[in-house]
């Protein structure tokens, strides 16, 4: 069993060093390779820099990525764990045969308990992220958003998302990206806690388990692979990797 994990690609955002169209191209190529190897794929949040669903409209700038995900999910079990930028999923992602999880995903592999979440909810310092999540989970703001023309709605979202990024980038992130709240999850008996959100690629032993911070597909182009042997954190462009065996 091989579980692939990717997070924080922020497709649709062109604020990074590499434009979204280039990151999308690399991701489509990555999915084609992964299709021959992965048994499962977990998209661990902030795959889209902003996602909002309408009854009759699909955002056209996501066409290429949605097409690739649709092809992939037809063959490989795929999960979408919502991040603070793409919380508003309402049936369309599911229609691509992708299982949607709004909070977290728990799996058992070879007797080991695996916990996956985007991670923003486990932090209380990231105000920008919390604001976006609040807006996307608030019934009134969602109803208001629906009344706006989709082109304008996506422009507003782009503006809000950039503002949120500026706010959160002014908060210093510790070199160890594990939030203290993760300790309680290990105490519940999980062998792996895997989170995205910080964009920091990080893999280490914690409390007789493994903590994985899945980095991003924005600057680092990370993907992780979880097997019965252990956990591997990869840098797609350089081929660099870090691997840990499960503690015995």
Tokens representing 113 are: 């308990």
- Phi/psi of residue 200, nearest 5 degrees: -95, 120
Tokens representing 239 are: 């081929």
Closer residue to Mn ion in complex, CB, 148/173:
173
Cα→Cα distances 15→19, 20, 25, 69, 131, Å = 7, 9, 17, 23, 20
Closer residue to Mn ion in complex, CB, 34/118:
118
**CA–CA dist 187, 151 (Å, integer):** 46
End-to-end CA distance of the chain: 19
Closest distance to Mn ion from the beta carbon of 56 (Å): 28
Closest distance to Mn ion from the beta carbon of 112 (Å): 26
Does residue 215 belong to the site contacting Mn ion (CB under 5 A)?
Answer: no
Residue nearest to Mn ion (CB): 197
Q: Which of 9, 78, 84, 214 binds Mn ion (CB under 5 A)?
A: 84
User: Does the CA dihedral 58-61-65-71 come out positive or negative?
Assistant: positive
Closer residue to Mn ion in complex, CB, 24/46:
46
| Pair 199, 13: CB distance under 8 Å | no
Closest distance to Mn ion from the beta carbon of 83 (Å): 4
| Residues of this chain, 108-127, that bind Mn ion according to CB under 5 A | 120
Closest distance to Mn ion from the beta carbon of 8 (Å): 6
Q: Which residues pair with residue 136 across a beta bridge?
A: none
Only one of the segments 69-77, 82-90, 98-106, 162-170 lies at the binding site for Mn ion (rule: CB under 5 A); that segment is 82-90
Judged by CB under 5 A, the number of residues near Mn ion is 5
Does residue 161 belong to the site contacting Mn ion (CB under 5 A)?
Answer: no
Q: Which residues pair with residue 210 across a beta bridge?
A: 192, 205
Does residue 197 belong to the site contacting Mn ion (CB under 5 A)?
Answer: yes
Q: Which residues bind Mn ion (CB under 5 A)?
A: 46, 83-84, 120, 197
């Amino acid at each position: 069993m091989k579980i692939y994990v990717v997070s924080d690609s922020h497709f649709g955002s062109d604020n990074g060093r590499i434009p979204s169209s280039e990151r999308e191209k690399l991701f489509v190529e990555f999915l084609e390779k992964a299709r021959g190897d992965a048994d499962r794929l977990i998209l661990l949040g902030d795959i889209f820099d902003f996602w909002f669903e309408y009854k009759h409209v699909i955002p056209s700038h996501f066409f290429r990525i949605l097409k690739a995900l649709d092809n992939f999910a037809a063959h490989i079990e795929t999960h979408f764990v919502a991040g603070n930028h793409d919380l508003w999923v309402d049936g369309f992602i599911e229609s691509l045969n992708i299982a949607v999880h709004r909070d977290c995903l728990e799996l058992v592999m070879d007797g080991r308990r695996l916990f996956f979440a985007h991670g923003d909810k486990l932090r209380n310092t990231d105000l920008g992220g919390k604001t976006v999540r609040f807006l996307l989970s608030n019934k009134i703001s969602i109803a208001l958003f629906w009344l706006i023309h989709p082109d304008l709605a996506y422009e507003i979202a782009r503006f809000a998302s950039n503002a949120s990024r500026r706010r959160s980038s002014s908060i210093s992130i510790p070199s160890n990206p594990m939030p203290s709240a993760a300790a309680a999850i290990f105490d519940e008996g999980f062998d792996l806690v895997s989170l995205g959100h910080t964009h920091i690629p990080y893999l280490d032993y914690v409390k007789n388990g493994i903590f994985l911070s899945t980095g991003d597909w924005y600057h680092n182009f990370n993907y992780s692979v979880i097997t019965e042997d252990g956990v591997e954190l990869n840098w797609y462009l350089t081929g660099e990797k870090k691997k840990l065996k499960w503690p015995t």
